[in-house]
Every structure is written in C-alpha cells, then in structure tokens.
C-alpha cells in the first residue's frame, strides 16, 4: 500500500478585504476591491501611479476608513490602526523623526512592544555604519531603508510597504528583496505596493489594480 504525506494546510489568512470601495474628493479611488493575504506570504499590489495602490495600503493599515466594504487584520477591523506589533507601515512619506538616530528610529516600535531590536536588521539593509547618524543626515535611499527596517524589526503579523524600492540603487534593491523574503520566512505577511518588476518577481501573489479595480 502506498503512503502519502498528509497535505500541508494553508497558512492562516491575516488580511481580508471584501468589496472595498473608497471615494475621495468626489472621485472613486477604489471600486469593489477584494483580496486575501496569508501569513508568511509576499503579496504585491501592482499597477501604474494613480491605480489605487497607496490608498489600499493606507486602508489596510487603518489610516482612515473606507467608504464601503470591509478591511480586517487578524479578524479585527483595520481602523482604528492596530499596534505596530500587529501591523507596521512603510509609507511613501517616510515619517522618520529627523533628530533621532537611525538606530533610535528603528528601535522605537520594538520598545513600545517590549521587544528586543534584532541586530541583524541593520547589516541586512546596509545601515550598520549609520546607526548613530541622525536620520536627517542620511540620504533619501538610506532614510527609506531606515523606515523599512523600522517596519520589519518589530516582526509584525503584517507589514504594509508602499514602494519600498523607490529610492534604491540596484545593490540596495537586492538588500530590500532579501529583507522581504526573510520577513515572510519568519511568518510576516508582507503586503507591497510597487510597479518594480524586481519586486513582482519575488511575489507569492500579485494583485493588479487599474483605475481602482482588480484586473486579470
């Protein structure tokens, strides 16, 4: 009699978006968007500028309420925003504290959550020699990687990352991609908005948006 391995159950769903609609200034930005994202996966929101990617990121992160439909993170409505130990955010406007050092910016969500800062995150993102530098004294690319390190260091259930390679050269894109893979391997659901084909290449799931709707 042949023996078969038991099927591996799918990872749990950690983000659930159902029939999401959002309007701003009289314009429909998102129209009947639904998606599921599972723990330990890289889910990419792909589309041109103006397709609704950033708005969808903000609504998943609890930055505002949708006009209609539901957004849930770990079975709970996303708004008001959950703590960073549950969901962290890398916005396009990086929201660093410029007077604080790179290390202090990365560390603050870990300290709020009562967790140790994983030392490897600095070397992984090319920040090891910049730890004591004030964030304002670093380049835009370095600031973006600092904000990414801040989002990933707390090891959240979900990390929402808006254009994480937008200010990176090729070598640092490789660092970012490795960091996304490591986060997913550790169980984080990584939700990324991008039009960078290199990020799409490492995705487990690609959700394409056009004119605020899911296409394809």
Backbone angles phi and psi of 32, in degrees to 5: 55, 50
Residue 109 near residue 154, CB atoms below 8 Å: yes
Q: Note the pTM of the prediction, 2 decimals.
A: 0.92
And the tokens for 24?
A: 């701003």
| Fold for the domain defined by 13-215 | Rossmann fold (3.40.50)
More confident residue, 52 or 9: 52
What local confidence, expressed as pLDDT, does residue 1 receive?
Answer: 44
Q: Element (H or E) spanning 151, and its range?
A: helix 140-153
Q: Is the pLDDT of residue 47 over 60?
A: yes
- What's the whole-number average pLDDT of the chain? 94
Q: What is the DSSP letter of 161?
A: E
Q: Is the pLDDT of residue 3 over 70?
A: no
Domain ranges of the chain: 13-215
What local confidence, expressed as pLDDT, does residue 160 receive?
Answer: 98
Q: How far apart are CA 158 and CA 97, in angstroms?
A: 22
Above pLDDT 90, what percent of the chain? 90
And the tokens for 101?
A: 């050092």
What local confidence, expressed as pLDDT, does residue 141 receive?
Answer: 97
**pLDDT confidence tier of residue 2, bands split at 50, 70 and 90:** very low
Residue position matching structure tokens 């487990």: 204
Q: Is the pLDDT of residue 4 over 70?
A: no
**pLDDT confidence tier of residue 138, bands split at 50, 70 and 90:** very high
pLDDT digits (tens, 9 = 90+) for 142-160: 999 999 999 999 999 999 9
pLDDT digits (tens, 9 = 90+) for 68-115: 999 999 999 998 999 999 999 999 999 999 999 999 999 999 999 999
pLDDT digits (tens, 9 = 90+) for 171-197: 999 999 999 999 999 999 999 999 999
CB neighbour list of residue 103: distance below 8 Å, 6 or more residues apart? 117, 122, 131, 132
């Amino acid at each position: 009699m042949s023996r078969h391995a038991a099927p591996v159950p799918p990872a749990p769903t950690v983000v659930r978006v159902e029939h999401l609609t959002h309007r701003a200034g009289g314009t429909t930005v998102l129209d009947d968007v639904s998606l599921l994202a599972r723990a330990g996966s890289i889910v990419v929101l792909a589309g041109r500028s103006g397709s609704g990617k950033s708005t969808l990121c903000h609504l998943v992160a609890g930055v505002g309420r949708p006009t209609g439909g539901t957004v849930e993170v770990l079975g709970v409505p996303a708004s008001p925003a959950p703590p960073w130990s549950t969901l962290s955010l890398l916005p396009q406007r990086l929201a660093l504290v410029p007077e604080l050092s790179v290390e202090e910016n990365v560390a603050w969500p870990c300290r709020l959550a009562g967790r140790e800062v994983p030392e490897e995150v600095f070397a992984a993102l090319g920040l090891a020699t910049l730890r004591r530098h004030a964030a304002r004294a670093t380049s835009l690319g370095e600031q973006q990687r600092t904000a990414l390190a801040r989002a990933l260091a707390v090891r959240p259930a979900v990390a929402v990352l808006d254009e994480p390679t937008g200010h990176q050269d090729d070598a640092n894109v490789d660092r970012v991609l490795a960091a996304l893979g490591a986060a997913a391997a550790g169980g984080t659901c990584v939700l990324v908005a991008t039009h960078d084909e290199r990020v799409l290449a490492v995705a487990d799931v690609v959700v394409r948006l056009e004119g605020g709707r899911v296409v394809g």
